[in-house]
Every structure is written in C-alpha cells, then in structure tokens.
C-alpha cells in the first residue's frame, strides 16, 4: 500500500486590498456619517471630504443636488 499525500494547502487571505474605493451604500443619497460614502463621493466629484461635507450641509444629501451645487461652485 502506498500512502497518498495531499499537496499542502496554500493559505489565501480573506481580505484583498484593492486600489479602488467601495461603491456607495445608496446611489441616490450620501451618508455623511459613513467614511466609505465620503471617500467614494469625494473621489466621484473630485473634491475634498471637507468640500463634500460643506455641500451636504448647504444642499442636503441627495446626490444630484450635491452634484449640481459642486458643479456650480466650480464654475464660479
């Protein structure tokens, strides 16, 4: 009888670090209390987190309102 040995298992990490930012929790509303939303929408709108927070304070959390406000601000 010959013994059968399985090849050693390679341990693969469960978490894979990727360069892209995870998508928003809601595609129509920005949650200013969620770091992942702030990171995603700041990159999407090409603004800083502070600029995004200011737009949210002034115009609410609806993505299209924030987008319009930031676009108007960049135009001036």
Per the CB < 8 A criterion, the answer to whether 30 and 56 are in contact is yes
Per the CB < 8 A criterion, the answer to whether 14 and 7 are in contact is no
68 located within any domain: yes
Nearest to 29 by CA among 64, 59, 68, 69: 64
For residue 24, the model assigns a pLDDT of: 84
**In sequence order, what E strands does 23-66 have?**
none
15 located within any domain: no
For residue 16, the model assigns a pLDDT of: 45
pTM for this prediction: 0.69
2 located within any domain: no
* Tens of pLDDT, residues 12-68: 554 444 455 678 889 999 999 999 999 999 999 999 999 999 999 999 999 999 999
Report the domain count for the chain.
Answer: 1
For residue 17, the model assigns a pLDDT of: 44
User: In DSSP terms, which residues pair with 62 in a beta bridge?
Assistant: 29
């Amino acid at each position: 009888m010959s013994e059968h040995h399985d090849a050693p298992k390679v341990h693969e990490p469960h978490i894979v670090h990727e360069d892209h930012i995870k998508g928003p929790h809601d595609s129509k509303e920005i949650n200013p209390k969620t770091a992942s939303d702030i990171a995603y929408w700041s990159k999407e709108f090409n603004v800083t987190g502070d600029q995004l927070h200011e737009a949210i304070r002034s115009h609410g959390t609806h993505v299209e309102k924030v987008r319009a406000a930031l676009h108007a601000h960049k135009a001036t």
